[in-house]
A and B are shown apart, each in its own frame.
Chain A
Amino acid sequence: MTRPFVEIDQVAMRYGGVDGTLALEGCSMNVGLGEFVAVVGPSGCGKSTLMRLVTGLWPATEGNVVVAGSEVDGPLTIAGMAFQAPTLLPWRRILANVMLPLEVTPQHRDKLSRERAMYEAKARELLRLVGLEGFDKKFPYQLSGGMQQRTSLCRALIHDPALLMLDEPFSALDVFTREDLWAVLQNVWMTKKPTVILVTHDLREATYLADRVLVMSSRPGRIIAERRVDLPRPRTLETTYTAEFQDLVHDLRGYIAAARSGEEVVV
């Protein structure tokens, strides 16, 4: 059996010294290469902390994080990240915003000036993939919230990251825009097949997008339940109204309710 792409083994994370807040404890999970995993949990359960541990932005207090076969002991350079806020640079046009990672990643920064045309074509192709064709010369403020979030997604993908980390990327958007972007993200994933860890509190979003949904307990967070989603792809909005889908969401809701009340869940 091949080794999982991301292995998190009995990880704990405590902020602010010995008496600080314990955000994660005994948290273990694996993510296979090219797999789409969603992590759901009650608010404040340490989902975002998990993101920062996996990308090596913060060191874990206890336990090991292994990505692509080697232990994480500093910021990864193979990760693309997108957050709830699009965090675009307001002084850059959309194309330049998408290309920002190429200017800083060690793999691309030296090649950028020589092969600018190739990289620009690639950025435009990504923008087309998320439905932003023809917007490359606009400034972020000229775009709607959903379009800014699409741009943010392109920025997370431009350097072909092996690992895509999404921290509630759609939670600031209205429901209809969000559902559009589920399809966009699924399309991107099916085209490029990166390993994805999506942190969200939207159970429908998790079920629509993921191969596997992990449920976290309330703080200190750990994985208390896991559901495989075997619905055929590409999933559509229609899929979300099938009985199978609804049952999955219902089950997940049960775990969340249990996690919030602090009960042990028997899977």
Chain B
Amino acid sequence: MAQMSARAQARYNAMAAAARRQRRLQTMLPWLVIFGMFGVWEIGCTVFKVPEFILPAPSDIYRAAVRWWYPLLQDSLVTLYATMAGFGLAIVAGVLLGVAIGSSTLVYKGLYPLLIAFNSIPKVAVVPVLIIWFGIGTLPAIITAFLISFFPIVVNVATGIATVEPELKDVLRALGARPRDIIIKVGLPRAMPYFFASLKIAVTVAFVGAIIAESVAPNAGIGRLMMVASSRFDVPLVFAGLITTGLMGIVLYWIAEVIEKRTTGWATRGTDQNLATGG
């Protein structure tokens, strides 16, 4: 850089500054969009005098959330517990089944059609059956969260393992590697980016599953809170419940993403480094 002419230096500085502005805008943008949405919503409700029981303004929702903060918190924790329990089971079962399907054509041919059929069943329809089997409680919510979230994990892990390069398999087989060695040394690490990508989807749909079960069989959880609130026409509280759910979804997604970045940085290199780091 010592040999750079004044013009080149100026141009370099301008480009670096532009890159910095771009990055700052990228971090700000989600917040701008969210606050913008709430702003428009608030103004719209005030200007058009929308009744509170049709669409409450964000300020009404905020007041409801503050007033009912304790039940909101309690029910959120119940839902979070059901979600995480179902999601945890889905990870264990999904990885095991994904490895089996990805490494054996026989298992793939045998199980895949059934899995597809199973995944096409709307989980709302399964909840009543679960209630007949397990009664009203947290268990149907956990199982629904599990059922809805394990399919993406299976598919992604299986894809990662099934797409190991044949040459690499040859290299290892010519060394006397057993099929198990190939899965452990190559298949599993290779499937990790797919696995984490699926976790981000799975964790959000696990939430949906838990809340569906809670709404169909109101016992506890944020789903029940919203059902009760809507039966009393307490629409601001319903919305407070919805927003709480969304927040929890974002936080879980974000945690999954942080873990992904830490563990499989090798797979996403290049997408988040640009001019500033390259210069």
Give A contacts to B, CB under 8 Å.
Answer: 52, 55-57, 75-77, 79-83, 85, 87, 89-91, 100-101, 103-106, 139, 141, 155-156, 159, 165
Whole-angstrom CA separation of A82 from B175 in the bound complex: 12
Give B contacts to A, CB under 8 Å.
Answer: 165, 167-168, 170-177, 181, 185-186, 189-190, 192, 264, 266-267, 269-270
Residues of A within 8 A of B172 (CB): 100, 104
Q: Which of A57, A75, A85, A91 contacts B266 (CB 8 A)?
A: A91
Asked if residues B185 and A104 are in contact (CB atoms below 8 Å), the reply is yes
Minimal beta-carbon separation of B270 from chain A (angstroms):
8
Whole-angstrom CA separation of A125 from B264 in the bound complex: 29
Asked if residues B269 and A77 are in contact (CB atoms below 8 Å), the reply is no
Whole-angstrom CA separation of A71 from B185 in the bound complex: 29
Whole-angstrom CA separation of A243 from B185 in the bound complex: 49
Q: A83-B167, A87-B165 are in contact. Are A75 and B173 (CB under 8 A)?
A: yes
Whole-angstrom CA separation of A83 from B172 in the bound complex: 12
| A-B residue pairs in contact (CB < 8 Å), sample of 14 | A56-B174, A77-B176, A79-B175, A87-B171, A89-B168, A89-B189, A89-B190, A91-B192, A91-B267, A103-B185, A105-B177, A139-B266, A141-B266, A141-B270
Q: Which of B168, B173, B176 contacts A87 (CB 8 A)?
A: B168
Whole-angstrom CA separation of A244 from B74 in the bound complex: 88
Asked if residues B174 and A165 are in contact (CB atoms below 8 Å), the reply is yes
Residues of A within 8 A of B266 (CB): 90-91, 139, 141
Q: Which of A81, A89, A106 contacts B174 (CB 8 A)?
A: A81
Minimal beta-carbon separation of A219 from chain B (angstroms):
20
Q: A90-B267, A91-B264, A141-B269 are in contact. Are A76 and B185 (CB under 8 A)?
A: no
Whole-angstrom CA separation of A155 from B172 in the bound complex: 11
Q: Which of B167, B176, B190 contacts A104 (CB 8 A)?
A: B176
Whole-angstrom CA separation of A168 from B66 in the bound complex: 70
Tell which of A52, A76, A80, A91 has the most Cβ of chain B within 10 Å: A91
Name which residue of chain B comes closest to A100, CB basis.
Answer: B185
Given A52-B170, A103-B181, 7 more A-B residue pairs with CB atoms under 8 Å apart are: A55-B170, A76-B176, A83-B167, A87-B168, A87-B171, A90-B267, A104-B185
